[in-house]
A and B are shown apart, each in its own frame.
Chain A
């Protein structure tokens, strides 16, 4: 492999994030393979992937920022625009659709006052449609950040809205 080119000083990524990226790099024979791990790490630090973060990731892996950004925009879990402190991902795919995801989503939309893809004005919650979360035995399901909620009823959706309004 080529020697890594001299790297400019990072713009926004922390030492910890860059260390995580370097550790990921060591797991693959080619640096580009560490791109998704690197983007996950950058997003974990910043909440989303602003342009300087994408540029930092590119510098860390020796990739053009065009490539980094093109890859980042392909995957739905990576955000290049700011998102809320909490992300609620509602599965509306076939089984959940059959099992009542529609009313659940309606409650969330009403309760949060936003449409899927939007973030509440206070920056607290982003509502997203998720594709099948592979938990159809628990349909309808949704993810609140990293936690999966099973067999969500419209009432449980109302509870969730209240809970998200209450905590940070």
Chain B
């Protein structure tokens, strides 16, 4: 692939929204593509002008003035379309429906199903309109007898081997085969032979069900895996009339995006293991929602039958998730209906939690808040609710209680100063696909922010170069120009080499990464126009985190046009950050030190905003251990399992006077609490949420919550009243309006982007800063391995455990070892091992990961039964010893 070989794969700057999503999508063209896109045919970005709003949707190409128009006639109507537009798109522009099965707007045409025939003057044969480019003076007819005969013939072919089991098929009612047959098909079949049979409804793992008899071999699901997700999850096997969609030897499908194939399947061949037989499309109420999981904030629709969540589906958002959803969202919606939901408040009495009324519980909290000096009160969490919840949290605790010790970052022991190193993507997610160089530094993208990967994939297909640096090889490594693994803790050296400020050879020696690769990657960065450097949890959550942030700031200084982002935070972390659930930040990314900001907020609230800096989570826990912090209020977080030093939490908890927890489940933290308040989840409340890019999206209430559970907002409002400073909001919209008075531009669908990363101040408030470039890389000492941890998309956290699909996809926790170290330790794949650090031990099955940097061991986060935090401390990069509990085979 040559640097200039980008073709028309990328979008020009510009946006094309359309209210119904029907028009305004880029039409595929048959123009020049690239090597990567060639495989499946042309793709392109020439938009189709909508007749109703030509100015708005003529789009980038027309705006650039580069694409000439061609004029054609379809069914007697004349129209002009940009050169490269297919006849199918041109017809759609006129409102003429031409049926398709294989063609899908988000993939280049393949011309396989032969359903979309049209007749074109001077062409002897029927033409497939999805592959045919409009040409000057072309005369097209879509409704002649010949076209109808052709379409009837194709539908008859498709139906001869279709089981016609619509009454028991989940797709019934939203099935293109059904719809097209009614509109375009023959009335009866002349087929009297034996239909092709396959073993029925094969379970392809926990969430996908395959029925090959229903399949019409449109290849959409196969091409989705090749073109969109890059995971090659489902494939066509055999050929001809034996062709079938499958995995090798029918093994469970390995994908993080397979739910989308269910969505785009034009028949009932792929159905959802979690939605199967639960509802009928016409019985579902549809509610606008936003996926609550990873922080990308994918637009979603919740389908509800009665008061049951039947399924979550993607809702189109061109700048966020396009039309896709990862499987965590697709199959991870139903924890809300778990029997384990907390239904009443709980208070501790005689060492045990018992049911209590709201009055009693709230009064116990309010009394403690009244009786505790503000500097002895801390708040952890707030990223689990809506923006309005978060805002009321800050207004309650800053304005009424009087503390700045608020931190939503419950899972970090090494926080970078939020004002200098805010989390999140500075640009729309969709901009990533326009990048020409993308660097992932310690960022396991598909595990943490899967939907962003789809944009990276698109960029790579368009010619962008992907550079991955990580202690273990990512599953997307085959798409990378360079994929290097480095020693834990040497990110500053790697960064220095990448930004051209350190010698690659030197960095290579320290990091264990290859010098030639670092040199080439640095050269790529130097020559790039649109660079994204995405640093993730692995790079940041460690003693060197501050130095990594400093290195990133230096990289940004060296490449001012580059987008340098810290990809961290889950759920509504984006909103929590924007609304200042941070010890050093106020709403709207204004630093606490900004006196004018404090004053304007105080004026709005009618209460002073304390000026003394608050404590971050780590400092709160330290203060608690010293007896300086007595009351900890945890809102929708579970630091007992997620704070990366279980011992530090435990010691802090023991000295607390009162621990209050909001949650939907009795998490570990809730179980340790003095007061537990049951809250509503994402599906049960309305409001807005922010995402990774700071975008504000509305989600509606879809179902009623269980028992007496309340929203966070309701709880904060009740507490404010009890503390004598009642809030006067009667709806979330009113809260949102007040936020808009504080944060300019705050509105639904607006994007309040985090400010760019700047050099963090060198000072005592960073937990532990080492000199940039200093290699604190860990070599195995006395057989010990450097422990690295990482998030998994499919985990067994409190929430995931209550989603049967996700729980099954996750499997058990494990410890991954490099082959050489495993061999040295006599450990084989699958062996049960003890993983021991100076702080604790876990029993885990071993997996051998070729490519994991030598001398390292990897344990995933987010498995309740294997709390990796028990191995970790706040002050050191951990080492572990690993030994097999059963002899190696």
Chain A positions near chain B (C-beta within 8 angstroms): 2-3, 5-9, 51, 54, 62, 64-70, 73-74
Contact = CB atoms under 8 A, between A and B. Distances in A.
B235 interface: yes
B277 interface: no
Interface string B258-270: 0000000000000
Contacts of B517: 3
A8 B237 contact: no
A131 to B, nearest CB: 12
A129 to B, nearest CB: 14
13 contacts: A2-B477, A2-B482, A3-B482, A5-B478, A64-B232, A66-B225, A68-B248, A69-B248, A69-B249, A70-B237, A74-B237, A74-B238, A74-B239
Given A8-B819, A8-B850, A51-B249, A69 B237 contact: yes
A44 B500 CA distance: 50
B478 A62 contact: yes
Contacts of A54: 248
B640 interface: no
Nearest to B853: A6
Contacts of A7: 850
A167 to B, nearest CB: 33
A6 B473 contact: yes
A36 B247 CA distance: 19
A51 B248 contact: yes
B473 A70 contact: no
A8 B852 CA distance: 11
Given A2-B481, A54-B248, A65-B248, A70 B850 contact: no
Contacts of B234: 66
A144 B232 CA distance: 37
B814 to A, nearest CB: 16
B677 to A, nearest CB: 47
Contacts of A67: 232, 235
Contact of A8 (B238, B248, B254, B848): B848
A7 B483 CA distance: 13
B480 interface: yes
A39 to B, nearest CB: 13
B480 A2 contact: yes
A62 B254 CA distance: 17
B851 interface: yes
Contacts of B232: 64, 66-67
B233 interface: yes
Interface string B478-493: 1111110100000000
B31 interface: no
A16 B239 CA distance: 31
Interface residues of B, number: 28
B237 A5 contact: no
A66 B247 contact: yes
A30 B222 CA distance: 21
B236 interface: yes
Nearest to A54: B248
Contacts of B477: 2, 5
A68 B248 CA distance: 9
A68 to B, nearest CB: 8
A3 B483 contact: yes
A150 B254 CA distance: 48
Contacts of A68: 248
Contacts of B239: 73-74
Nearest to A55: B248
A2 B233 contact: no
Given A6-B473, A66-B234, A69-B248, 7 more contacts: A2-B478, A2-B482, A8-B819, A54-B248, A62-B478, A69-B237, A70-B236
A6 B480 CA distance: 13
A5 B850 CA distance: 9
A3 B516 CA distance: 11
B235 A66 contact: yes
Contacts of A8: 819, 848, 850
Contacts of B473: 5-6
Contacts of B848: 8
A67 B246 CA distance: 11
B850 A6 contact: yes
A70 B567 CA distance: 36
Nearest to A70: B235
B487 to A, nearest CB: 15
A66 B480 contact: no
Nearest first, the 6 A-B pairs at minimum CB distance are A6-B851, A70-B235, A69-B248, A8-B850, A64-B232, A73-B237
B819 A66 contact: no
Contacts of A64: 231-232
A62 to B, nearest CB: 6
A69 B478 CA distance: 18
A5 B483 contact: yes
Q: Among the interface residues B238, B247, B248, B848, which one has the most CB atoms of the partner chain A within 10 A?
A: B248
A5 B851 contact: yes
B198 to A, nearest CB: 14
A13 to B, nearest CB: 15
Nearest to A51: B249
A70 B237 CA distance: 5
Nearest to B222: A70
A122 to B, nearest CB: 26
Interface string B442-481: 0000000000000000000000000000000100011111
Nearest to A76: B239
Q: Among the interface residues A9, A68, A73, A74, which one has the most CB atoms of the partner chain B within 10 A?
A: A73
Nearest to A62: B478
A12 B233 CA distance: 23
Contacts of B483: 2-3, 5
Contacts of B478: 2, 5, 62
Contacts of A69: 235, 237, 248-249
A2 B479 CA distance: 8
B216 to A, nearest CB: 18
Contacts of A62: 478
A31 B235 CA distance: 19
A99 B236 CA distance: 37
Contacts of B481: 2
Nearest to A8: B850
Q: Among the interface residues A3, A69, A70, which one has the most CB atoms of the partner chain B within 10 A?
A: A70
A69 B850 CA distance: 22
A5 B481 CA distance: 11
A8 B817 CA distance: 12
A64 to B, nearest CB: 4
B114 to A, nearest CB: 21
Nearest to B818: A6
Contacts of A5: 473, 477-478, 483, 851
